[in-house]
Amino acid sequence: MKAGVIFTGTGPILILTSYGSLTSPPFVEKLATKGIKKFIAFELPMDMVKEKYGEVFQLITEDLHQTDDLRVLDYNGYNIFHNFAFKELDAPIFHEP
C-alpha cells in the first residue's frame, strides 16, 4: 500500500492506494477517471500517515481493496499542509498527459 499527496488543479489531496507505484499506468488511469489528468505527487511513509490520521486512517484502510484501489484520506488542503512539512515529502513525481 502507498500513501501520497497529490497536488491537483484544485489543491492537494492525501490518498491511500493499493497500486504498487504512484507512477504506474493503471494508477494514473484511475486518477484520470476521477478528472485528475495533470498532477504533482509526493509519496509519504505509511507509518507517518497512520500516526497523523489515526482512526480515520484505520477506517479508510479497512475499506481499501487489496488490488487496484484508491481512497482519498483527506481533501482539505489546510489539514494536509498543517500535517506534513515539505521536508517530509519524497521526491516529486510530475505527470501530465
pLDDT tens, 49-81? 999 999 988 888 877 666 668 889 999 999 999
Averaged confidence pLDDT in the chain: 91
pTM of the model: 0.89
pLDDT tens, 27-41? 999 999 999 999 999
| Residues 13 and 74 sit within 8 Å (Cβ to Cβ) | yes
CA distance to 13, 84, 89, per residue, from 78 (Å) = 10, 10, 16
Instruction: For residue 75, give every residue at least 6 positions away whose Cβ sits within 8 Å of its Cβ, in sequence order, or none.
Output: 11, 13, 14
Beta-bridge partner residues of 95: 39
Of the pLDDT bands very low, low, confident and very high (cuts 50, 70, 90), residue 11 is very high
